[in-house]
Chain A
Amino acid sequence: MINTTVERSRVPLTKEDFVSDQMVKWCPGCGAHAILASVANVFPKIGYRKENFMFVSGIGCSSRFPYYVNTYGIHGIHGRAAAIASGVKIANPHLSVWVITGDGDSMAIGGNHFIHVIRRNIDMNIMLFNNQIYGLTKGQYSPTTPMGSITKTSPQGTIEHPFNAGELVLGAQGTFFARVADTNPKLMTEVMFEAAKHDGTSVVEILENCVIYADKSHEVVTSKELRDDHQLILKNGDPMIFGKERNKGIRLTREGLEVVTLGKDGITEHDLLVHDQYSQDPGIHLMLAKMYPPAFPVALGVIRSAMYPTYDDLVEAQITYARENEKIKCVDDLLNSGEVWEI
């Protein structure tokens, strides 16, 4: 059950309630199809009135998303989805606001809005489709493209350090960060539900495959051969175990995180880190978000989900306080406040 100001549906909903009549125009094989399916699956479970869902997007392949779901929605301008969504949520806190953005939209042109919405902790769910490339403009490198990648605008390889979305979110004092791959619809649905449940800005980074311009860029995480050894699927309260044989784990040492093998050198489950997604301190969350193969597996699932007051709740609280305590109750009071005299 989600506690929220958003009104719940009185009738059970199905995924058909959220399918729009528009033709989905993403490339065949694009990871976005799986994300769309997960949203359609999770929305009925979230249980809000279908009129209270609202999508906002920026520009890019991912940002066509609002046209493909039957909710209220704005397809905005490049990079500004978080800013538009901020206005939506502050103006009407009774909406469940979902932002659809890409790696370029959120972290290049929209980087400023991205960090500030996170800092303010406005209650919205940001689905960050990270395909490590500019797809809609046909294959230029993005802020998350790995260094050295050959793209249309980096024929000799990129010479920029990429952002790690999780590091950026936590650096901006994010209260919720999760990571999933588009190849795991079940985890995607679970994480989206968790994001909806979280009060505040929830960022879900979805490792999405662009079949045309950056095919297999997440292969090191998602390929059948590597995924078991390169994915750590976090579960709150559970020790961090991964690997094909479920015999590897993450341990915290004086030097930081370490991959250990269970049964080797006397190591047992009790030596492993136990995931606490609700911890206020983001220290371990940050270490988890930064893990990357080959030295470490990539952390998937909810990495951080900490309770902090939301901006939108504080706005309402200030307005309620002002309404109860201020002398000026209407504009006529305002016009007649201060020095006013009769002639």
Chain B
Amino acid sequence: MSKKQKLVELEDAVIRFSGDSGDGMQLTGTLFSDTAAVDGNDLATFPDYPAEIRAPQNTIAGVSGFQVRMGKSKIYSIGDFCDVLVAMNPASLKSNLKWAKPGATIIVDADSFDQKAIEKAGYITNPLDDTSLQKYNLIAAPITSLTRDSVKNKDVDNKTAVRSKNMFVLGILYYLFNKKLDNTLKFFNVKFKNKPVIAEINKIVLKTGYNYAETAELFKSTFIVPPANLLKGKYRNISGNIATAWGLLAASERSGRPLFLGSYPITPATEILIEMARHKSLGAKVFQAEDEIAGICSAIGASYTGSLAVTTTSGPGLSLKSEAIGLAVITELPLVIVNVQRGGPSTGLPTKSEQADLYQALFGRNGECPLIVIAANSPADCFYFAYMAAKYSMEHMTPVILLTDGNLGNGSELMRVPEVSELPPINPPLARPNDKDYKPYLRDERLVRKWALPGTEGLRHRIGGLEKENIKGNVSSDPVNHQVMTDLRAAKVQKVADYIPLLEIMGEQEGDLLVVSWGSTYGVIMSAVKEMQKQGKSVSHAHFSYIMPLPKNTGDVFSKFKKIIVCELNSGQFVNYLRMRHPEKQYLQFNKVQCLPFQIEELTAKFKEVMEVIS
């Protein structure tokens, strides 16, 4: 055992990896997270990368980041500021320093701070030499040259050798946080199974980085984040997009309805399509369509034949699907539409995240066109909400829009691995062969029509986009019938409120301030409310995952609080929807449209400000 510096135990730690797009920061961050997860830490991750695949080298535009927070207790958000910042070049230091806590450890590749790169980043003088980093613990190591030297006896060219410098940094980080290298070494064996030389290079560089941190005594103290006290069970790390794909696959298996996915690649939703395409062994039929419209239309066709039909997209794609969603609404076919929201309008900020597609999900279609809208809370939760979206869609014969976003889709956290058998059952309302009473639009007590699958004897029928005669389903332009059908479609979706969970209050059941949120802001707002509660403030939190219809007790919950503040990453779409649905209440709002998550600090400051008015 080597001599260790002072060992400091931390509740949690936030590490931010940043570098040029080609520096492999996403992989480095992922490997670090995996190791922390295996060590039993709870964690959350958040990649922050540019839309360009390789922006010009050493420019601010080309900086790619990855933040991970690990802790010894439940982690609800990725953390506002980091304890350790890795900056592989001047541009990444320049653009990420604002995320570092005062006194944070900053690890830079000193080799990359040449005059040209410094100027390109917009620095006037070398920040490593002037006093600008005085309030931080700066570790400026010649990472590129040490990497090159560590493998100089190996048969590799300079470029290949230098490419593994991210593993040198990872080695330093493992030393700093007293993590074992095993998990990452194992990863190299699998990843480079057919390239043993590359595997060896990476292993050497990782170990050299670790040893360098130790022998050069880079740190006065090292840290340990003890394992989290999580519920007993099996755990894995999972991103929101993967969790979404898996939740849908689980719903397919549990319902016995084969999965059909019709999608067109679009950032940041593509990963769901990619993931699903890998699972043909589960019977998933994945159709990469010629455009967004064909994606949803093929899904509607598949739904008519009895598949759990899904289309996945992001904001602009949802716009293109609008007309077809109307077809699914009027034909009353099950369909799950996953919208991984990104910054808009138009192409907007494709790789960044916001919650600004809520209006589009609720209202973005011609005619009276109601459907279920559900929003996932966290990366791992995407599994559960995708599952529930499929369940409600099939059981209530209606399209469902599942809203996630870039932060959820790309972010990851620990998931307690469920068993499919413990998930709620799914019972699609299939029509029986030769059912003499079958009529396409005959409804049960939940106002749900039957799903009659082509190929079944005695159920031949036609449906389509023209208004349908109540019960019989023939084409009808009768004015009274149109009113009846419009009301029935709305009532059917509203009736889903009888089946969704009631709204829960985190904290006191009544009080001064109720903080309301929906979707991916769950974790950070929960953390901010807890912070307020710790300070003895009368603040509670109500988080909405079910948006259309709203939980039945929404009005009751709201009536227990003096003030309500609705926080969301848009200009106030949910708060306006609440104003429409529950006009009896007054609502305050807190909004941010910067394609950045909320910070705990800004939330608590806002809560304090509105509470001062109360007291």
Query: Hey, what's the 0/1 contact readout for A327-343 against B, CB within 8 Å counting as 1?
Result: 01111101110111111
Give how many B residues have a beta carbon under 8 Å from the other chain's beta carbons. Answer: 69
Give chain A residues whose Cβ lies under 8 Å from the Cβ of B298: 83-84, 86-87, 90
Instruction: Assess whether A74 is interfacial by the CB under 8 Å rule.
Output: yes
Q: Mark A99-143, 1 if CB is under 8 A from B, else 0.
A: 000000000000011001000000000000000000000000000
Contact between chains at A66 and B464 (CB < 8 Å): yes
Nearest CB of A to B215, in Å: 31
Please determine whether A85 and B301 come into contact, CB atoms closer than 8 angstroms. Answer: yes
Determine if B159 is an interface residue (Cβ-Cβ < 8 Å).
Answer: no
A116 and B285 contact, Cβ closer than 8 Å, known pairs A92-B306, A339-B38, A343-B232? no
A51 contacts B454, CB within 8 Å? yes
Known: A74-B464, A318-B280, A339-B237. A113 touches B417 (CB 8 A): no
Q: Name the A residues within 8 Å of B457 (CB-CB).
A: 51
| Contact in complex: A51, B417 (CB < 8 Å) | no
Taken together as a complex, chains A and B put the C-alpha atoms of A88 and B456 apart, in Å, by 15
List which B233-283 residues lie within 8 A (CB) of chain A.
Answer: 233-237, 246, 249-250, 253, 258, 260, 262, 279-283
**CB-CB < 8 A to A20: which residues of B?**
462
A263 shortest CB reach to chain B, Å: 51
Instruction: Find out whether the CB atom of A331 lies under 8 angstroms from the CB atom of B236.
Output: no
Q: Which of these binds chain A: B64-72, B144-152, B168-176, B287-295? A: B287-295
B323 within 8 A of A: yes
A100 smallest CB distance to B (angstroms):
12
Q: A156 in the interface, Cβ–Cβ < 8 Å?
A: no
For B285, the chain A residues whose CB sits under 8 A away are: 90-91, 315, 319
Distance between A84 CB and nearest chain B CB, rounded to angstroms = 4
Q: Known interface pairs A329-B281, A330-B420. Does A88 touch B302 (Cβ–Cβ under 8 Å)?
A: yes
Contact present for A116 and B40 (CB under 8 Å): no
B477–chain A nearest beta-carbon distance, Å: 12
List of B residues within 8 angstroms of A52 by Cβ: 454-455
The CA-CA distance from A343 to B237 in the complex, in Å, is 13
Chain A CB within 10 A, most for which of B290, B324, B326: B290
**Complex CA distance for A160 and B260, rounded to whole angstroms:** 40
Contact indicator B463/A74 (Cβ below 8 Å): yes
Evaluate contact between B294 and A112: CB separation under 8 angstroms. yes
Is A94 in the interface zone, CB < 8 Å from B? yes
The contact string, 1 if C-beta is below 8 Å from chain B, for chain A 302-340, is 000000000000010011011101101111101110111
A112 to B299, CA, bound (A): 17
Quick one: CB contact mask for B401-429 with A, threshold 8 Å, 1 for yes?
00000000000000001111000000000
Give complex CA distance A7, B457 in Å. Answer: 12
The answer to whether A51 and B280 touch across the interface, beta carbons within 8 angstroms, is: no
Q: Say whether B204 faces chain A, with CB atoms less than 8 Å apart.
A: no
Interface centre among B249, B287, B324, B461 (most CB of A within 10 A): B287
Q: Among the listed A51, A70, A77, A340, which residue makes an inter-chain contact with B465, where contact means beta carbons less than 8 Å apart? A: A77
Q: Which residue from B235, B258, B294 sits with its C-beta under 8 Å from A113?
A: B294
Q: Does A288 contact B (CB under 8 A)?
A: no
Say how far B141's CB is from chain A's closest CB, in angstroms: 29
Do residues A73 and B281 form an inter-chain contact, with CB atoms below 8 A? no
Contact B474 A341 (CB under 8 A): no
Q: Give the CA-CA distance A94 to B287 in the complex, in Å.
A: 18
Q: Which chain A residues lie closer than 8 Å to B475 at the CB level?
A: 22, 67
Question: Does B297 contact A343, Cβ atoms closer than 8 Å?
Answer: no
**Are A80 and B294 interface neighbours, CB within 8 A?**
yes
Within 8 A of B (CB), among A271-314: none
Does chain A have a CB within 8 A of B307? yes
Interface presence of B34 (CB below 8 A)? yes
- Is there an interface contact between A51 and B455, defined as CB atoms closer than 8 Å? yes
Which residues on A sit within 8 Å (CB–CB) of B464? 57, 66-67, 73-76
Contact B279 A72 (CB under 8 A): no
Asked if B246 contacts A335 (CB within 8 A), the reply is: yes
In the bound complex, what is the Cα–Cα distance between A116 and B304 (angstroms)? 21
Q: Which residues of B contact A321 (CB under 8 A)?
A: 280
Taking a contact as CB atoms under 8 Å apart, the answer to whether A91 and B302 are in contact is yes
Q: Which residues of A contact B420 (CB under 8 A)?
A: 330-332, 335
CB–CB A342/B302 < 8 A? no
* Assembly CA distance A146 to B175 (angstroms): 76
Tell me whether B280 and A322 are in contact (CB under 8 A): yes
How near does chain A come to B194, taking the closest CB pair, in angstroms? Answer: 19
Instruction: Tell whether A87 pairs with B309 under 8 Å between CB atoms, given A76-B327, A318-B280.
Output: yes
Alpha-carbon separation in the docked complex, A84 to B335 (Å): 13
- Which listed residue, A54, A112, A318, touches B290 by the CB 8 Å rule? A112
| Residues of B close to A342: CB separation below 8 A | 233-235
B108 within 8 A of A: no
**Chain A residues closer than 8 Å to B331, beta-carbon distance:** 74
List residues of chain A with CB within 8 A of the CB of B250: 331, 335
Q: Bound state CA distance, A251 and B230, in angstroms?
A: 82
User: Contact: A116 with B290, CB < 8 Å?
Assistant: yes
How distant is the Cα of A73 from the Cα of B461 in the complex, in angstroms?
Answer: 7
A340-B305 contact in complex given A72-B460, A75-B462, A331-B250, C-beta closer than 8 Å? no
A72–B246 CB distance below 8 A: no
Instruction: Find chain A residues with CB under 8 A from B279 CB.
Output: 322, 328, 334
B235 touches A87 (CB 8 A): no
Interchain CB contact under 8 A, A340 and B417:
yes
B290 adjacent to A113 (CB under 8 Å): yes
Chain A residue with the shortest CB-CB distance to B230: A343
Cα A85 to Cα B309 in complex, Å, equals: 14
* Complex alpha-carbon distance, A71 and B456, angstroms: 11
Residues of B within 8 A of A88 (CB): 301-302, 304-305, 454
Cβ of B466 under 8 Å from chain A:
yes
Distance between Cα atoms of A51 and B452 in the complex (Å):
11
Q: Cβ of A339: which chain B residues have Cβ within 8 Å of it? A: 34, 37-38, 183, 236-237
Q: Which residues of B contact A90 (CB under 8 A)?
A: 260, 285, 287, 298, 302
**Is there a chain B Cβ closer than 8 Å to A50's Cβ?**
yes
B residues within 8 A CB of A85?
301
- Contact B290 A92, beta carbon cutoff 8 Å: no
> Which residues of B sit under 8 angstroms from A181, Cβ to Cβ?
none
Q: Does B400 contact A (CB under 8 A)?
A: no
* B514 lies within 8 A of chain A by Cβ: no
- 7 residue pairs, one from A and one from B, having the closest CB atoms: A75-B464, A87-B301, A87-B298, A326-B281, A83-B297, A91-B302, A322-B280
14 further A-B contacts with Cβ under 8 Å, apart from A84-B297, A95-B455, A112-B294, are: A51-B456, A51-B458, A51-B460, A74-B301, A76-B465, A90-B298, A91-B302, A92-B455, A318-B280, A319-B283, A326-B281, A334-B282, A343-B230, A343-B233
Please, could you name 27 A-B residue pairs with CB atoms under 8 Å apart, sorted by A? A54-B454, A59-B465, A66-B462, A67-B464, A74-B301, A74-B462, A76-B327, A76-B465, A77-B323, A77-B326, A83-B294, A83-B297, A84-B297, A86-B298, A87-B300, A88-B304, A90-B285, A113-B290, A113-B294, A315-B285, A321-B280, A334-B249, A334-B279, A339-B37, A340-B236, A341-B234, A342-B235
